[in-house]
Amino acid sequence: MNILLFGPPGAGKGTQSAFLVERHGMKHISTGDLFRVAIKNNTPLGQEAKNYMDKGKLVPDSVTINMVAEVLQSLKGASFVLDGFPRNVAQGEALEALLDRVNLNLDKAIFIEVPINELTERLSGRRVCRNCGAVYHIATKPLKNGKNCDSCGGTDIYQRDDDKPESIVTRLNVYADFTKPLKEYYRKKNKLVEVDGREDVEKVFSRLERSLES
């Protein structure tokens, strides 16, 4: 099954994708993660993306779509979970064309809903492992030993620049203006599934699993 997860920043897309990878071996395609790796490696793509990401703005469509096209071409039959792409209707249309080109189908577009006040708390408390990208939260998912990444043992656990207050406001506005309209886009295509993203991560995952079965 090929799916995408969308919703506001902090809804839990990355967290739930990690469960899907573990449980179903799906290939996780996160455009945010791909940009962060490019920034870490100081590639031309990373240098371009950084200017937009630090401000909480969307990286231009042409850059983002070309990057996703490359990944989709290299899937070799693995089912995928797209996380953070598409983020506007133009990207949704581009995704359809890209999938057609490689003879793949999107089964469901899963919208994870979380109220705004909870999002700010999730985003400002988020921490990420610089080495492997594992996601933590200072209150709800702290490091088990307080120092090392639970997944890879890394010690560089950082706060994303775009999780600081000024960027959070911009990202929530960008979401409302550009990403939320994708709900209507996928509803019209009969692919929209809505999942309540409140409550603990296991509970949300069981809702997500049920929505995949229906």
| Residues with catalytic function | 13, 87, 126, 160, 171
The site that binds ligand AMP (CB under 6 A) totals a number of residues, namely: 17
Q: Which residue lies nearer to ligand ADP by CB, 111 or 136? A: 136
Count of helix runs (H) and strand runs (E) in the chain = 9, 8
| Contact string 15-44 vs ligand ADP (x = CB under 6 A) | x-----------------------------
H or E segment to which residue 115 belongs? none
Token pair for residue 102?
A: 């490689």
Instruction: Tell me the backbone φ, ψ of residue 198, rounded to 5 degrees.
Output: -80, 165
d(CA 111, CA 208): 10
- Interaction between residue 127 and ligand AMP (CB under 6 A): no
Residues in the chain: 214
Q: How far is the CB of 106 from ligand ADP (least distance, A)?
A: 19
Sign, CA torsion 133/65/170/199: negative
Binding site for ligand AMP (CB under 6 A): 9, 31-32, 35, 52-53, 56-59, 64, 84-85, 87, 91, 162, 171
Given the rule CB under 6 A, which residues bind ligand ADP? 9-15, 122, 125-126, 135-137, 140-141, 200-201, 204
